[in-house]
Amino acid sequence: MFPLYLDKPYKLRMGGQFMSDEQWSHMERTIEDYELIIGVSGVVFLEADGLMYEVKAGDMLILEPGVRHRGNKLSLPGVSFYWFHFLFPECTASEPDCRIPRYASCPNPGRLHILARQLLHAASGGSRIRQAGDYFLTSLLIELAEQLQDSEGLDALDPQLPKLLEWTRLHALEPGISVEQIAQEMGYNKDYLSRMFKRRFGSGLLHYIHNLKLEAAKELLTGSPMHVKEVAAKVGIPDDKQFAKWFKRLAGVTPTEYRKAFTRTHLNNT
């Protein structure tokens, strides 16, 4: 969580709105300021301190000083975001007035855009008051704190995600496979793994496992003469009655009905 002190304004160093009409990736660099990024359109793909972030429209991310960061994937044309480099006030109280998640989705991004444009106007010389940029920046941080006061923020995406997906794909048909087993195998906390996976794919890891099993079962039912009981065992569900109920719940028809409707014309091997 990012601490917010309100006895003095934060110090704006520079800021702007980035827009690209072609594919783009963030340069690799380390800066000595804090950086606030607010997504406007498209997705900004960033890797910072070994973690991956996807900053979408309405998302915010605060990068700490000294953290090496870079684009880890190309953003599509049309990507846009506000960026502000800033420093803490010179003197702060011992305890912050409130805290802001470092990575979160904001419920009212329109208010942020208004403040961000006012801040850019002041920072580019649009205000005759010397510290106007500092105060607009602090107002923007206060707005983030207000919008996100009940939010725990978003989880960064772990760079080991491709390895996790591959391991799960290879072991998805084993009997008794579970989220807990995968978490233990990959060295994750079970709850963290579940949150991270859902954030990335929009559905849980267990749903992903069931889909892998279901697709394998469909392939076996339509592409082989195996008995339904054998198909069930192949996808890690040794009880054929349980398999039939499971298959109907996910596919909408029983395994036998699916085979009759979608089986291939030729199953002979001669």
Homologous superfamily assigned to 161-262: Homeodomain-like (1.10.10.60)
Question: Which one is predicted more confidently, 214 or 128?
Answer: 214
> DSSP states of 186-241 as a string?
HT--HHHHHHHHHHHHSS-HHHHHHHHHHHHHHHHHHHS---HHHHHHHTT---HH
* Model pLDDT, residue 5: 86
What stretch of H or E contains 43?
none
For the sheet containing 103-105, what is the strand order?
Answer: 11-19, 80-87, 34-41, 59-63, 103-105
CA distance 21 to 78: 5
The rounded mean pLDDT for the chain is 87
Q: Tokens at residue 147, please?
A: 């919008």
**Residue percentage of the chain with pLDDT more than 90:** 39
* Model pLDDT, residue 270: 45
pLDDT in tens, 92-102: 667 888 889 99
Domain ranges across the chain: 2-147, 161-262
What stretch of H or E contains 35?
strand 34-41
* Model pLDDT, residue 267: 45
Cα of 57 vs its chain's centroid, Å: 13
Domain 2-147 has CATH 3.65.10.10: no
Q: Where are the alpha helices (DSSP H) in the chain?
A: 109-121, 132-147, 161-171, 179-186, 190-201, 205-223, 228-234, 240-251, 255-262
- The answer to whether 136 touches 129, Cβ cutoff 8 Å, is no
Shared fold status for 2-147 and 161-262? no
Short-list 154, 214, 208, CA closest to 182: 208
What stretch of H or E contains 48?
strand 44-48
User: Burial level of 242, CB count in 10 A (0-12/13-18/19+)?
Assistant: exposed
Question: Which one is predicted more confidently, 195 or 37?
Answer: 37
Q: Tokens at residue 26, please?
A: 């963030």
Looking at residues 240-257, what average pLDDT do you find?
91
Residue 265 has pLDDT above 50, yes or no: no
Looking at residues 132-142, what average pLDDT do you find?
91
Q: Which of 18-27, 126-135, 193-202 has the highest mean pLDDT?
A: 18-27
Residues 6+ apart with CB under 8 A from 43: 54, 55, 56, 75, 76, 79
Lowest-pLDDT range of 41-50, 90-99, 106-115: 90-99
Q: What are phi and psi of 170, to 5 degrees?
A: -70, -25
Looking at residues 176-186, what average pLDDT do you find?
89
Question: Which one is predicted more confidently, 123 or 45?
Answer: 45
For the sheet containing 44-48, what is the strand order?
Answer: 51-55, 44-48, 69-70
